Structure 1
């Protein structure tokens, strides 16, 4: 019999994790976490003006904020702004305040009093930088307040974070504790890395520079990182649309496919190349400047201007990638999947898979690598969007599919050695293991 998990199960697990954590703040009792998660869970089932509730709550002891902490002096760092007086922590108040607390820009600061009663004590601003980091739109890791952050990300969906580390997700009736890192380990990673690789001759022509084997490998490693980041960001954008969607990566754009809107869009690929070209040029300019410094020579005006132009080129190329990712993500709003090459060139959207034959079973993996612990499931247990992807990947082993459910769950699908494999709750955010959590050999994070 399948166990249905509740907010109380989430509270018990998070309490256990926090007991292991090395945090200077007072650790909340399980009863407090139980009240916190139950209230948030039932809030997620409500609507306000016909819209689903999305809000982030930070468990923050506002009385112990240390303004001398390193990084707090930065202009873009978070600040706590109190309500006067504090507001009761209730479903009604959370629903109302959620309209003023966009999770991308702010969070509600919640803590308990001497009687262990929860209150909303204020708001925290500048959380846009935290969200931008998680979504690969910021490289520098910003400070983030509080003990834990809990995000309502859908109906019955609570994500609990410690710094940049996901403690657990309550996804309606399931409790997710592991997030398979399919982009770094296993057959999904191998497929993308091999298919996204460029030849030495292509890269030499692109960068107008002779490259040895090691340099070519380094360039391809960097390209691979940008490709998996781009896929992750597209999937996250699709998730935020709340309607579901799918991406198919293949080299055959005709067989068993019917594409309503044929479109060739290569700006993700070109943006990645523009970033590499600009950064490579920047490195070469830096070498010239170092040589001048060694000779104690003055920097020529033309070299100074070239450095300034190059900085603008780098910024432009990053912005180009952001815009291209948003463009591709929006194509998923049309019924059907987005059809892409391994180099992330769009070949069409509104694509329907015409292959109908289903695999005898689907193997669901909790690890990024196929293991004997995989669970065998009948494909008919899933909806038509998943079944279509199962059928295509079963017949076309040299392909890779991603399906985003309406509830926001993201799955990767790949045929491995004749078996259709599926990975649930894959790691798409830029999660980092918190140094507050001890490492356990028996439980490897995000694998």
Structure 2
């Protein structure tokens, strides 16, 4: 939705609160409008020459934890109140943002009897939430308050309800839906075909090492591992705020690769991680089975195998993380990071030499790129980086290109049948709409 304003975001939030928060009080629309106005204008301020980046949690100081869980984990959030309430305005947000890094904390905000907004404290342990969103952790943690709002760039606000991204306001554009192209649709099919090497290795490993395990029971896990790893790479490149591009292609035609390398560690780490995950699952299942049949003692060897596989799973997970960081940093050099189908990096700083451009490209408003969702665009309206990727993907069917802008926007390009299709507003984080989904992901 173009030509949107903070008040449009306020209306969305009010409707969401009325539908989901039950008996909890819903603030008047004027309170929400003032909240989003203040955050929007604060995003244009600077503090010590830095743009404001901050997250606020809308939470009642009189009842901050209305439904605590029966079992409270050590890393659960807590509210640390200020001695006195601080009126919420752009100046206060700018000052406090230096002490409230969004990766680790948020500011607790609420309103008084007359609708005046104030900051009453800080909330800790936000890193666990961020780690889950970014696929750095397998476990989620409940979120405090009615909702959260993050200021990430000039005129850019993200609104989250627990693990659901409700909407994003980017200057004057309101984005209410991100396309899940990595798990459904043509791009997902390309990526899953590229994961065939991983599936072949695991099929052989199961047959040789764990013949009682069915490969079909593990195929969804392997697809998830591949997609999550790719998502983490995109997120890491986004975080550099430099801009970059990724190309997955079969050959090196129409490519001038400045820095050629052959880096397959990410590929090998995914194989090793999948093996250790299977080993750990089987060993844990064997131990549980021994208890279920009434065994009073378990062999030391079985516990050793369980411990070894657990440590191997953690170690290979860290190896994947390191390999992702290594590759993502290469995107900061002008040019394209080049991958083959097996996620092996073949170089970076690549220049795309294809010249022939399609007369028009098609923007898809859905992940599946159905005919009704396609809208034609003139490719000449885009910048050099986008045009070169469009030309390459047009001339090399089967290739997949992704362009990451400095502001974090991601656009994907691929030729599907006789059309060059572009997707934008791509979902990369682990947003989920309900607790059942989160449990399924574990």
TM-score (norm 2): 0.92
Partner-residue secondary structure (3-state), 2:214 = helix
Which runs of 5 or more structure 2 residues have no equivalent in the other structure? 437-442
| Aligned match of 1:236 | 235
Q: Does the C-alpha gap of structure 1 residues 23 and 400 become closer, same or farther in structure 2, counting only changes over 3 Å?
A: farther
Superposition deviation, residue 132 in structure 1: 0.7
| Aligned match of 1:376 | 376
Superposition deviation, residue 218 in structure 1: 4.2
| Aligned match of 2:8 | 9
Partner-residue secondary structure (3-state), 1:198 = helix
> Deviations 1:317-371 (Å, cap 9, x if unpaired)?
1111121112221111111121112332111111111112222112111210113
1:307 paired with 2:306, answer: yes
* Contact 2:237–2:244 (CA under 8 A) maintained in structure 1: yes
Partner-residue secondary structure (3-state), 1:70 = coil
Superposition deviation, residue 211 in structure 1: 8.1
1:262 to 255, 260, 263: 260
Partner-residue secondary structure (3-state), 2:145 = coil
| Aligned match of 2:387 | 387
Which runs of 5 or more structure 1 residues have no equivalent in the other structure? 437-447
* Contact 2:202–2:274 (CA under 8 A) maintained in structure 1: no
Q: Does the C-alpha gap of structure 1 residues 211 and 376 become closer, same or farther in structure 2, counting only changes over 3 Å?
A: farther
CA distance in 2, matches of 1:345, 1:263: 10
CA distance in 1, matches of 2:289, 2:70: 34
Matching of residues 25-424 of structure 1 within 5 Å: 25-66=24-65, 69-70=68-69, 73-198=72-197, 202-206=201-205, 209=208, 215-252=214-251, 254-290=252-288, 292-293=290-291, 294=293, 296=295, 298-371=297-370, 372-424=372-424
Moved more, 128-137 or 408-417: 408-417
> Deviations 1:157-200 (Å, cap 9, x if unpaired)?
11101111111100112110111111121101111112211387
RMSD of Structure 2 on Structure 1 (CA): 2.3
CA distance in 2, matches of 1:259, 1:282: 41
CA distance in 1, matches of 2:12, 2:61: 25
TM-score (norm 1): 0.91
* Contact 1:394–1:418 (CA under 8 A) maintained in structure 2: no
Q: Does the C-alpha gap of structure 1 residues 127 and 266 become closer, same or farther in structure 2, counting only changes over 3 Å?
A: same
Q: Does the C-alpha gap of structure 1 residues 287 and 113 become closer, same or farther in structure 2, counting only changes over 3 Å?
A: closer
Q: Does the C-alpha gap of structure 1 residues 287 and 122 become closer, same or farther in structure 2, counting only changes over 3 Å?
A: closer
Q: Does the C-alpha gap of structure 1 residues 355 and 200 become closer, same or farther in structure 2, counting only changes over 3 Å?
A: closer
Moved more, 228-237 or 116-125: 228-237
| Aligned match of 2:439 | none
* Contact 1:71–1:143 (CA under 8 A) maintained in structure 2: no
Q: Does the C-alpha gap of structure 1 residues 147 and 209 become closer, same or farther in structure 2, counting only changes over 3 Å?
A: same
Partner-residue secondary structure (3-state), 1:179 = coil
CA distance in 2, matches of 1:267, 1:206: 19
Superposition deviation, residue 118 in structure 1: 0.3
Superposition deviation, residue 114 in structure 1: 0.6
